[in-house]
Structure formats: C-alpha cells, structure tokens
Amino acid sequence: MRYLLGPFKQIVTLDNLPARGPLSDADLQIWKDSGILIEGENIQTIDKFDKLYKQHSASVEVGYFSHGEDRICLPGFIDAHTHLCYGGNRVADYAARISGKTYEEISKEGGGIWHSVKSTRSASKNELADSLQQRISKHSLQGITTLEVKSGYGLNVDDELKMLEVINRVHDEQVIDLIPTCLAAHTVPLDFAGEKMAYLDFLFEKLIPKLHRSGLTNRIDAFVDALAFSPDEAEGYLKKCKELGFDLVIHGDQFSTGGSQLAAELGAKSVDHLECIDEKGIQDLAQSQTTGIILPGASLGLGMPFAPARKLLDAGCKVAIATDTNPGSAPMGNLLVQASLLSAYEKLSNAEIFAGITFRAAETLRLLDRGKIKPGYIADLTIFPTGDYREITYNQGSLMPISVWKRGQRLF
C-alpha cells in the first residue's frame, strides 16, 4: 500500500544531526507545508505536499488534512528502557515512600523488587501477556512506536525465561516493536541460597546458555550499584556474556558511582540512570561509545535529583531519554511529561529532547532504520495537532498525538 500524508505545517525530520553532544533548535531540519510519501513499511520521499499530490494522488491513498488544520509530524518515539512486563503493583511501596521511608528501607521490609518478583512468578504467561499488551497500548497513544522491555522480576531460570518468552510473544502479536533485555542480574533473590557471586555464577551456568541457544534476547543487563552488585562483582559475569556475543547494558550510578566507568570499560551499549554520576564517570562516557540513558521517571518517583543531562551533553556524551516504566520507582510511564520536565530543570533544547527519544535512542538499541523521517527509514510517525513543534514541550506532555503510524500502518 502507498500513502501520501499531509500537508504538514512542519515535518521535523531529525536528519543530519550528530549522535552525541549538544544540539540547538537551529540545527533541526524542518520541512514546511510538505507531505510524506509512504510505500509499504518505509518512507519513500518528503517534498512539498502540493507537488506530491499532483504527482501521486491518482496512485496512492491520501491521508489528507485540510489546509486550515495545523499538523506537525515527528518520528515515532522510542522508549529505550522499560520494565513493562510484570505482575501486581507496588502501591504500598509508593505510599510508604511518600510517607518518608527510603527505597532501601522498603526493600529490607520485603517490598521493592522482591514484591514484584513474587507477583510476577505467580502470574501465568497469559496474564503477563495481557497486562503487557495493555501497557503497550497506553504507550502507543503517547507516540511511542518502539519499546525496550526488560525481564528481571523472575530471578530464577524458569521465570526469567517465562518473562522473555512473553515479551517475544507479544512482540509477534502486535505492531509495536519490543526489544527484549535480560535483567536476571537485577538483585539476588531472597530465596537463593548463596552470595552475590554465587548467584551471578548460577545465572551464567544455568540461564545464559538457554538464552544463547533460544535467541530470546541478545541483550544482558545488570544492576551495578550499592543496592545490587558492585562493579567488581558484576564485571566477570558481564565479560563472559559479552564473549558469547551478547550486547551489554548496565543500570548504573543511581545510588552509588562506578557503573558508568564499568560500562565504558566493557563497551556496553548503554548505562542507564546516572542520577549520581561523578566527573570521572562523565569523562569516561564522553570518551566511549556507550550511551547514557537518563530516566526522569525514576527521579520523579523517588524524589531524587535528575541525572546531569546538561553536563553529559556538553561533555560530548551520547545521551538518550527513557521512562524506566516499572511498578515501583517509576510507575508514571509518560515519556513526554518526563522529557519536558527534564528539559526545564536541565535546560535542554527541544532538539536535544527529541533526539534523545528518537534516533539517539534507536542507536543504542542497534536500530538504524528508525528515529528519523528520511527516505528508506521505517514509516514510524507521530502527528500532533499544532503548527509549531515547540508546543509539545511547552505543554509538558498534555499535548497528545492525534495520530500514530507504525511501519506504514495507521494505529489511530
């Protein structure tokens, strides 16, 4: 099927921008009064709408907006760090936290990750799939067309496999692309009879070979922090996973430092959180190919300062922005609200925000076919009812997309 969409007051392509460092709104390539020609799953061309209409209207289906309607188009958004697959909720955790208890105190009392582990283990595959699909639908309404989704609430072989099987199954059953990541090294489960190193050895001996054979994921994550595994404890496990061909991801520098340095040393695709990254960590990332993924939702959920996005960009780091949607520390799951608030506190330009949730996020997931409106790229598009792209961050997430397209198909 061929479609012609338009006319758009603005098409913000995000093309011809660098993969790292600061950006100005003046750097943005913007097509005015233009249209997008789609063939199959891909963008064929961008040009003035009247020209495309004259050339192709007889041979395409036209998704036409009247010239009196203001519409702008951006690439479909990419949420590169979520925990969308889980059972139950952590309402009690949140109530305790806003009453004054710390994340650590709640965990020691049996809440935190362990509460989600118990709920997820007891849920059936169908229950997990149904709840995951509902959360994906909510994200798609916000313009998100690609989602990374982690395991990490199973913390044993069978339940980690169950989670990854569900993520892959749901990916196959609907159009939003899901990128599965194994976070079995989330923490040591309370029912494991052994210390941290023994648990990581167990994962590598019993779980990783099954993942290597099954192809359920090519990404291995670990929580490298004072609450989970130290850099020294995690290093051997991650190195061995890398030797098998897995891409590495690290939850790092959320409550203590060291994760970003390890990520840079190991060539991890990303290190995510960075709320307490230090100057050495920033310089290590700036000299590496590792992306720093900032998670404003975790800062909002825990009442913590945001990661120093401005410093990271000005140092020349690769920076993406994601929601960290999870049942405990970041239940909001609204990428535009989070990114807009981050921009206000950290003084990020619109260009930096949109790059962080499109092509810069795509790059860290090894997805070089999306995140820009460009001929040959997948037709993942988010359309807003405004004539000025700056209205999106100005409204801090309250301006919602009027239409979303995924691989050349209109979702709504």
pLDDT digits (tens, 9 = 90+) for 353-392: 999 999 999 999 999 999 999 999 999 999 999 999 999 9
Rounded to the nearest integer, the mean pLDDT of the chain is 96
pLDDT (average), residues 79-92: 94
Backbone angles phi, psi at 293, to 5 degrees: -100, 120
pLDDT at 398: 96
pLDDT (average), residues 126-152: 98
Question: Which has the higher per-residue pLDDT, 219 or 107?
Answer: 219
pLDDT (average), residues 147-170: 98
CATH fold, domain 78-364, is TIM Barrel (3.20.20)
Question: Which has the higher per-residue pLDDT, 100 or 11?
Answer: 11
pLDDT (average), residues 15-43: 97
pLDDT at 107: 76
CATH fold, domain 2-75+372-410, is Urease, subunit C; domain 1 (2.30.40)
pLDDT at 113: 87
pLDDT digits (tens, 9 = 90+) for 170-199: 999 999 999 999 999 999 999 999 999 999
At residue 77 the predicted structure's pLDDT band, cuts being 50, 70 and 90, is very high
Proportion of the chain above pLDDT 70, given as a percent: 99
CA angle 244/269/325 to nearest 5° reads 110
At residue 64 the predicted structure's pLDDT band, cuts being 50, 70 and 90, is low
* Residue 170 to residues 78, 122, 160, 183, Cα–Cα distance (Å): 17, 19, 16, 18
Backbone angles phi, psi at 32, to 5 degrees: -110, 145
- Residue 179's beta-bridge partner residues? 148
At residue 98 the predicted structure's pLDDT band, cuts being 50, 70 and 90, is confident
pLDDT (average), residues 152-175: 98
- CATH 2.30.40.10 in the chain, residue ranges: 2-75+372-410
pLDDT at 393: 97
Give yes or no for a contact between 45 and 375, defined as CB atoms under 8 angstroms apart. Answer: yes
At residue 13 the predicted structure's pLDDT band, cuts being 50, 70 and 90, is very high
pLDDT at 156: 98
- CATH 3.20.20.140 in the chain, residue ranges: 78-364
pLDDT at 65: 66
Q: Which H helix or E strand runs over 264?
A: helix 259-266
pLDDT digits (tens, 9 = 90+) for 313-322: 999 999 999 9
d(CA 218, CA 300): 30
Selection from 300, 10, 334, 297 nearest residue 141 by Cα? 334
**C-alpha radius of gyration, the chain, whole number:** 21
pLDDT (average), residues 215-221: 98
pLDDT digits (tens, 9 = 90+) for 335-354: 999 999 999 999 999 999 99
Instruction: Give every strand in the sheet of 77-79, ordered side by side.
Output: 77-79, 144-150, 177-185, 219-224, 247-252, 270-273, 291-294, 318-321
Per residue, what are the HEC states of 24-70?
A: CHHHCCEEEEEEEEEECCEEEEEEEHHHHHHHHCCCCEEEECCCCCC
pLDDT (average), residues 292-304: 96
Q: Crossing angle, helix 259-266 and helix 279-286, to 10 degrees?
A: 20
pLDDT at 381: 98
- Residue 31's beta-bridge partner residues? 11
The answer, yes or no, to whether residue 109 has pLDDT greater than 90, is no
**Which pairing describes strands 381-384 and 318-321: parallel, antiparallel, or unpaired?**
unpaired
The answer, yes or no, to whether residue 400 has pLDDT greater than 70, is yes
At residue 60 the predicted structure's pLDDT band, cuts being 50, 70 and 90, is confident
pLDDT (average), residues 274-278: 98
pTM of structure: 0.96
Give yes or no for a contact between 312 and 274, defined as CB atoms under 8 angstroms apart. Answer: yes
Locate tokens 């040591």: which residue? 188
pLDDT at 67: 59
Give every CB contact of residue 249 below 8 A, 6+ residues apart in sequence. Answer: 181, 219, 220, 221, 222, 268, 269, 270, 271, 272
d(CA 292, CA 311): 12
The answer, yes or no, to whether residue 66 has pLDDT greater than 70, is no
